[in-house]
Structure 1
Amino acid sequence: MHRLSRESAHLAGRLLSGALGLGVALMLTGCPGKDKSAVSGDTSQIVAQVNDSEISIHQVEAMLAAQPAIAEQLGANGPHRALDSLIDQELAAQAARQAGLDKTPRVLQAMELAKREVLARAYQDQLAEKVIMPDSEAVSRYYDSHPELFAKRRQYTLQETLVKAPTDKVLELKDKVEKLATVEAVNTLVNDSGVTYSRRNSVQWAEGLPMDLLSQLVYLKNGQSMGIQRKDGLVILTLLNAEETPMSSGQANNAIQAALLSNARRELVQKGMEALRQKAKVQRMGAFAQPASGASAASAP
């Protein structure tokens, strides 16, 4: 979140950088900086003339829609800030064309990649639009199957200890800390282990934690710890306190519907992309003959 006290230019820059999709969409029309209404001679929707190009209200609205959180913060000034960003964008684009940058290999490649991304996203969005709104029974099932998020929801106060150590030391330390029952014992063990570490306390709501982590935290008692191995060491989470703050099914209804819709959209896209892969002839070559481990066929819209 960017505060409203940010300077106008900084906020406009944020809107500009967040509107890459809009810029590419305009590029795809084959008429940079111009809207269909302008091409047809309808000037009622034109909000700015930038040299020989025009900017329409539709482009302003599209930029704001691309950054709803920032648009909400800007309030009534949002359209004006968005227009400032579009003017800067158009001026820079015109200068780039005059300098011949639109013909350079690097820019041509970037434009082609952006065009592909926009088209792919449009197709995936089309797939996701077929999603069906979850009914009350589905919402109730989700609520009942996740008590750690709702009926037994907790606020966790955690001590996070970040340890840097070689793998053998990490495994030994992890095994020991998970057998301890107090934060004092954990701190003493880490202090005496000769490793480099840092500590901080944090307060986390259940819904703000990854599900795989939450599923382990729910079983910890105050003072107990769990270790998470990382490439460069170990993260020790010690439970200092857990306060139950349950959420009723009525309170959770909207959040659950949103989560189910998101999951359903993701599944529709994944199925659609898998269908495309099965029909297509794809051949990886050379150093790319093998796909990356854990590669996903599609990203959720």
Structure 2
Amino acid sequence: MQSPYQNATDLPLSSAPRLTPLRAACAALVLAGVALAGCNRDQPATEARPGQALASVNGEEITLLQLNEEMQLAGVPAAQQQTASKQLLQALIDRELLESVATKEKIDRDPKVMQAIERARSLILAQAYMQKRVGDAGRPTEAEIEDYFNKHPQFFANRRQLAMNQLVMPASAVTPALRAVADKARSLEEVAAYLDTRQVAYGRAQVTRSTADLKPELAAKLLSMPKGQLFLVQEGQRALLTAVDEVRDAPVSLAIAAPQIAQYLANRKNKELAEAEIQRLRATAKIDYLNKDLAPDAAAPGALPAAAPAALAGLPGAAPDTGPGAEPAVGDGNGDSDIGPTSGAVDENARADKAALDRGVAGLGNLSR
């Protein structure tokens, strides 16, 4: 069962992002390719871009309309708009300079650039149509929110936190001899002492996961382990020898969880409507696969392929599912963790730790005392 925190798009926008000069410049440069598609330098500058002119770059005007659009795309809060206006105007000037020299050097006629422009145009049109067609599914009712809360106690009312200690080492260090030592060891310290005698480099880490972070079967297995039991998981070029140090109750109330549940349910409804529209269009279209090797495998006529279509990418909640087990990391109000996806709350090493744990303990060198 999915949780309401699987995708970054599921998070409510509690506050607009803080604008920095680097963010403004990057946002402007990213949009340069799309700007090339609509550029017509043969048209007089006074007619090409309607709106109050704010600056002129080699005769090409930058207007208030353009600045307002950039401001809206950047999500600048009202208190920062004066400062942001100056930054964004400079970014627009930079973009105009880059666009101008790119056009002079005929980069806009480069086949790869033309293809990128056409792809951007196609995506924009597809997303605009889907937004117009699907719109907003609306906020779920309080009864729907409470029903989801009650049906997923492992995420909320019965949520538990597991504090774990780890020894992190190169995967090449996991030899039969090390496994034998770990099988007999009663603590990570005994294994660490063995690694010291063999001069094997290792690091230490502490991670906290909740039953909402893990797949149900993995969470159940970890909860059933005696305190201190060791298990080994290999993650790419490194290995994690882990022991559960503490398990404690960490329930989340309906009042705390309700906003995220509401956002998730609304996003899920939008996604369902978008997929239904794609299905409708496929059912009424004549689609011939000229290369039969690329046709969907054993798909019913008009069935949606496994890969999420690009037309859904711009809709809230329409990002591809990350699969079962990518569950919420919901805080309890005591600062233990934030409400939201773990991908936004942990660093890269912690993400790798979670990925390793999510693959399961069974079959990956589960070690008993």
TM-score (ref. length: structure 1): 0.69
Residue 95 of structure 1, CA deviation: 0.8
Structure 2 unaligned residues grouped into runs of 5+: 1-16, 298-304, 316-369
Question: d(CA) in 2 for partners of 1:126 and 1:190?
Answer: 64
Inter-CA distance 211–61: structure 2 relative to 1 (3 Å threshold): farther
Residue of structure 2 equivalent to 1:16: 28
Question: Among residues 129, 141, 149, which one is paired with 2:147 in the alignment?
Answer: 141
Deviations 1:241-271 (A, max 9, x none): 3443433212222111111112222222222
Deviations 1:74-118 (A, max 9, x none): 934222212211211111001100111111112112211222222
Letter in 1 for 2:137: V
Question: d(CA) in 1 for partners of 2:139 and 2:191?
Answer: 49
Inter-CA distance 91–123: structure 2 relative to 1 (3 Å threshold): same
Question: d(CA) in 1 for partners of 2:288 and 2:193?
Answer: 54
Residue 234 of structure 1, CA deviation: 5.4
Structure 1 unaligned residues grouped into runs of 5+: none
Deviations 1:46-77 (A, max 9, x none): 33322332323333333333343xx4599342
Question: d(CA) in 1 for partners of 2:24 and 2:264?
Answer: 31
TM-score (ref. length: structure 2): 0.59
Residues 1-301 of structure 1 aligned to structure 2 (within 5 Å) = 8=21, 10-17=22-29, 19-20=30-31, 23=32, 26-27=35-36, 29=38, 31=40, 39=47, 43-44=51-52, 46-68=53-75, 71=76, 75-76=80-81, 77-161=83-167, 165=171, 184=188, 187=191, 191=195, 198-204=203-209, 209=213, 215-216=219-220, 219=223, 222-224=227-229, 235=240, 238-278=243-283, 279-283=285-289, 285=291, 288=294, 295-298=306-309, 299-300=312-313, 301=315
Question: d(CA) in 2 for partners of 1:102 and 1:31?
Answer: 12
Partner secondary structure for residue 158 of structure 2: coil
- Fraction of identical pairs, as percent: 21
Residue 183 of structure 1, CA deviation: 5.1
Residue 4 of structure 1, CA deviation: 7.2
Whether the aligned pair in 1 keeps the contact of 2:51 and 2:65 (CA below 8 Å) is no
Whether the aligned pair in 1 keeps the contact of 2:57 and 2:97 (CA below 8 Å) is yes
Question: d(CA) in 2 for partners of 1:190 and 1:273?
Answer: 59
Letter in 1 for 2:125: L
Residue 140 of structure 1, CA deviation: 0.3
Aligned residue-pair number: 280
Q: RMSD in angstroms over aligned alpha carbons? A: 4.5
Inter-CA distance 155–185: structure 2 relative to 1 (3 Å threshold): same
- Select the structure with the greater relative contact order (CA < 8 A; seq sep ≥ 6): 2
Inter-CA distance 236–217: structure 2 relative to 1 (3 Å threshold): farther
Letter in 2 for 1:135: T
Inter-CA distance 239–73: structure 2 relative to 1 (3 Å threshold): farther
Inter-CA distance 182–226: structure 2 relative to 1 (3 Å threshold): same
Whether the aligned pair in 2 keeps the contact of 1:12 and 1:84 (CA below 8 Å) is no
Letter in 1 for 2:71: L
Residue 186 of structure 1, CA deviation: 8.9
